[in-house]
Structure 1
Amino acid sequence: MKIQKKLSACTSILVGKKAMADNSTIIARNEDAKTAWPKHLTIHEHKEFEEEQVFVSNDNKFTMPLPKVRFRYSATPEWTDKFGLFEEDGINEYGVAMSATESAYSNPRVLGADPLVENGISEEAMVTVVLPYIKSAREGVARLGSIIEKYGTSETNGILFSDEDEVWYFESGSGHHWVAQRIPDDCYAVVANQLAIQKVDLDDPDNFMYSKGIVQFVYQNHFEVDFDNFNFRNVFGTHEYSDEIYSTPRVWYGQKYLSGDNDQDPMSEELPFIRKANRLLHLDDIAYVLGSHYQNTPYDPLNNDNADGHKFRPISLAATQESHILQIRSGMPVDVRGIQWLAMGVTAQSSYIPFYPAATDVHPAYKVGSETYDDKSAYWVYKLAGVLVDAHYKEFGKMLKDTQKEVSILLNNKVHEIDAKALTLSGQELRDYLTTESIACQQIGLDKYNELIAKLITASTALSPLSFKVDVNL
């Protein structure tokens, strides 16, 4: 199997409940792959089968049996399953959230000792074979870990799990070995295409989990001798120049914004994994980071005056397919507890639309869209707005920002209204209500962006290179 670094991937944020102003847990990620590759949003209902099902990947033929009972869950699959499902993120009926994956890379030493498995589990399958079968974030770590130990994995990845109380980050470091760390309640982490977990406390099962035999594997292959200071990133990860321009600057900017740091080096490979913010965080803080491109630094590619504007890979970029913030809110009934905030297309040019995963259906525009532009597709509506702004950012950037602000205000108000009513309902009546209101939220976003598109097209007619100023005296 050919193993190489593919520099197209994601940026993730994980936040413990005491670090958030509203006591929510947060896992969030930009899914980056291609500039024109739509995503859909779907609900898989709870289903009980008479016999065990068998999962077979269209990507690499990874195969495994699945339990007879599949819990309800939401997901954002690709527009086609030709290359695999890539369901990527969702929340299940037990209020457990999962996001997979944050692509990462292992060094040749560990891969030489425990190679990746060509038909092992990969990003494409992870949400599908894990999320519908777990009742807590910790169970998610355990299930994925057992799958990797048994079947191996074909990739190095980071996976995010959360529930009402805990947030976990899972990293596979080789064909069969992995570690996971619980994010402390009062902390956050920003991850960008590198193995990120640092010191692993092998004697702290409340906050760390890891593969069977990992200590023996590391010791026998002479990768580490001081297990009191076992640093997973140093043992399994990479330290290359590409990391310093592609990955660490994104972590640097996220930490700079959330913690107020000014003295860290954006190319440092020693940036800490776990950080504390300099304030209680809100949802819009997370959205800002995921939509960022080094604003107010010399590295912003949208500022033509910056000589270093294209030195580092930004967090938000044209290849983003969708961005999600999975919010699990403390003390809420399970069917109202989770909100899947979904921004279709490029995060910096889109808006996060709230969706309640207990809904039974989604807006028709979230069910369609292929690789060719389609005005009936939510993905393509948001994508078109971004493309039109890109052509004349100096002239149109403010119009986009005004629309984003308006949508944010409308939808945050809508969530307050939905929550208040939802808390008085239960059963099918609640699910029907959440369906109606989630679709209404999606419609608000589409309406406002279609209004923006109309304005952008109209204004663009005056910006043609064929324009000519006519002398009034002629």
Structure 2
Amino acid sequence: MIKKLSACTSILIGKKATIDGTIIIGRNEDAKAAWPKRVEIHPRDSMERLFISKETKLTLQLPAHSAQYMATPEWTDKDGLFEEDGINEYDVAMSATESAYTNELVLGYDPLVENGLNEEAMITVVLPYVKTAREGVARLGQLIAEHGTGETNGVLFADNDEAWYFETGGGHYWVAQRIPDDAYAVVGNQLAIQEVDFNDPDNFMFHPGIQVFVSEHHLNPHEEGFNFREIFGTHDRADAIYSTPRVWYGHQLFSKSKAQAEQPEDQDLPFLMQPDRKLSILDAQRYLASHYQGTPFDPVGRGSQEEKHRYRPISLAKTQESHLLQMNRGGANIHWLALGVAAQSVYVPFFAGIDDVPAPYKRGKLPAQRNSAYWIYKEAGVLVDSHYHDFLPDLQAVQKELNVNAVKMVAQTDAHLKELKTATERANYLTRQSINFATDALNAYRDLSLSLLTKMTDYSPLNFKTDENL
């Protein structure tokens, strides 16, 4: 299945590490260059009680009450829903998943489960049924312990108080760590959690049998401690080329003073870091939209051909969508969504609790559609790709203007929101604000594509320099 090839990049930031006290979690969803995503809002109590996975055939009886939430499912549910990310009505945010790998020794004792709970179903069977991030961790952990999973994954949770990173190992085991308020984490397709403190329930949650499992099968390579990454994860050459450079780059961006000695292929990069300065939502966006700018490893930079293709970048053609879920805000929380390649798209703010989005954001099919938001953003990116360095300034100008306008719109919305007295007034206002900005962003990208198309007409290989006197 297409998702078996998926590979993402994640970021989590605690509230004392951000410039405005918000909590930020987010991820690039990477699978295939032309694989559309769309937006869906599930009303309260709209979920079916019986869930059957189209991918694994797992059957679950779900709770009677389901919360309202927004998600970004696949264009087709042939192989499952893959809802990926969202914020529910209780202000719980969830992003699933960050693909990773369990080593062969662990898999020999706890194989992956063919009919277990996989990425495609995690949002659907967890997010509508939890009221805190901790409840999300507990529910997902209980489901995996009982039914197993066929994949190794990392899952992000947050609410208005804290952020958590959850990882599976083998078919049934898992741990989760709270992100310290003054720290951040960046993750790239490797198990990331390191030392687990089983006597610290404020900061760690875990499968109740994981210590016995590791001890009985002699899986811990160290005499002391419990390093989940060392025990369950992989540490091969592929990790050094594919995964760790993206973590290294995040540390270089945010913690240069502490990470000067780090190298892109280091296998022991720390999971948690303190930033040199407080981070904004735009910093998080720039990380997920980055591709090693300022280093020889930028695929569109000035390095040698070998250097430019040495490491897998963070933002790449196979990104379907990129999202950042911003919690603990003074106003409404925000689901920032960039459809298509983050480096060439723009993050559109959708406020939590809205009940509608513009029609183009609900569409997305194959072959390409001109009335689909996914394809509108993709079209502009493909046109930029045709003459990248010539057209990049045009793209960046549109992105900059939309980013400035987004910050302005969010500030204005927060201010006006305080004047509204009822929940209905707030929801209606937030919906209008989200729809208006999302529509403006689409129109800006439509205009960009037409501008680039006009410029491209003179790049034809059939062109000829004509003497004006003829």
**Short-chain TM bin:** over 0.9
Contact kept in structure 2, 1:323 and 1:342, CA below 8 Å = yes
1:417 partnered with 2:415: no
CA distance in structure 1 between the aligned counterparts of 2:342 and 2:70, rounded to whole angstroms: 20
CA distance in structure 2 between the aligned counterparts of 1:319 and 1:101, rounded to whole angstroms: 16
Contact kept in structure 2, 1:219 and 1:225, CA below 8 Å = no
List aligned pairs for 1:283-432, cutoff 5 A. Answer: 283-307=281-305, 308-330=307-329, 332=330, 336-425=331-420, 426-432=422-428
List aligned pairs for 1:98-117, cutoff 5 A. Answer: 98-117=94-113
TM-score by length of 2: 0.96
Contact kept in structure 2, 1:95 and 1:337, CA below 8 Å = no
CA gap 1:424/1:48 in 2 versus in 1, 3 angstroms? same
Q: From 423, 437, 449, give the equivalent of 2:445.
A: 449
CA distance in structure 2 between the aligned counterparts of 1:328 and 1:303, rounded to whole angstroms: 35
CA distance in structure 1 between the aligned counterparts of 2:419 and 2:319, rounded to whole angstroms: 38
What does residue 236 of structure 1 align with? 232
Contact kept in structure 1, 2:13 and 2:185, CA below 8 Å = yes
CA distance in structure 2 between the aligned counterparts of 1:397 and 1:300, rounded to whole angstroms: 15
Pairwise CA distance, 1:441: 1.1
1:29 partnered with 2:27: yes
Pairwise CA distance, 1:104: 0.4
SS in 2 for 1:18: coil
Contact kept in structure 2, 1:300 and 1:306, CA below 8 Å = no
1:20 partnered with 2:18: yes
Pairwise CA distance, 1:305: 4.3
CA distance in structure 1 between the aligned counterparts of 2:6 and 2:316, rounded to whole angstroms: 10
1:253 partnered with 2:249: yes
Pairwise CA distance, 1:205: 0.7
What does residue 123 of structure 2 align with? 127
Which residue type is aligned with residue 323 of structure 2? Answer: H
SS in 2 for 1:326: strand
Contact kept in structure 1, 2:161 and 2:328, CA below 8 Å = no
Pairwise CA distance, 1:8: 3.6
Q: From 36, 41, 47, give the equivalent of 1:43.
A: 41
Q: Percent identity?
A: 55
1:158 partnered with 2:157: no
SS in 2 for 1:112: helix
SS in 1 for 2:26: strand
Contact kept in structure 2, 1:25 and 1:328, CA below 8 Å = yes
Pairwise CA distance, 1:99: 0.1
Unaligned runs of 5+ in 1: none
CA distance in structure 1 between the aligned counterparts of 2:124 and 2:33, rounded to whole angstroms: 24
CA distance in structure 2 between the aligned counterparts of 1:457 and 1:463, rounded to whole angstroms: 10
CA distance in structure 1 between the aligned counterparts of 2:222 and 2:369, rounded to whole angstroms: 57
SS in 1 for 2:146: helix
- 1:14-45 Cα distance to aligned partner (Å, 9 max, x none): 00000001100010100001111111111111
CA gap 1:265/1:379 in 2 versus in 1, 3 angstroms? same
CA distance in structure 2 between the aligned counterparts of 1:62 and 1:6, rounded to whole angstroms: 17
CA distance in structure 2 between the aligned counterparts of 1:423 and 1:147, rounded to whole angstroms: 40
What does residue 208 of structure 1 align with? 204
What does residue 69 of structure 1 align with? 65
- 1:398-453 Cα distance to aligned partner (Å, 9 max, x none): 10011100110111111111111122222212111111111001011101111111
CA distance in structure 2 between the aligned counterparts of 1:39 and 1:473, rounded to whole angstroms: 53
SS in 2 for 1:99: strand
Which residue type is aligned with residue 61 of structure 1? Answer: K
CA distance in structure 2 between the aligned counterparts of 1:467 and 1:208, rounded to whole angstroms: 64
Which residue type is aligned with residue 378 of structure 2? Answer: K
Contact kept in structure 2, 1:292 and 1:314, CA below 8 Å = yes
Contact kept in structure 1, 2:20 and 2:280, CA below 8 Å = yes
Pairwise CA distance, 1:329: 2.4
CA distance in structure 2 between the aligned counterparts of 1:468 and 1:188, rounded to whole angstroms: 55
Cα RMSD between the aligned structures?
A: 1.5
Which stretch has the larger CA shift, 57-66 or 387-396? 57-66
Number of matched pairs? 465
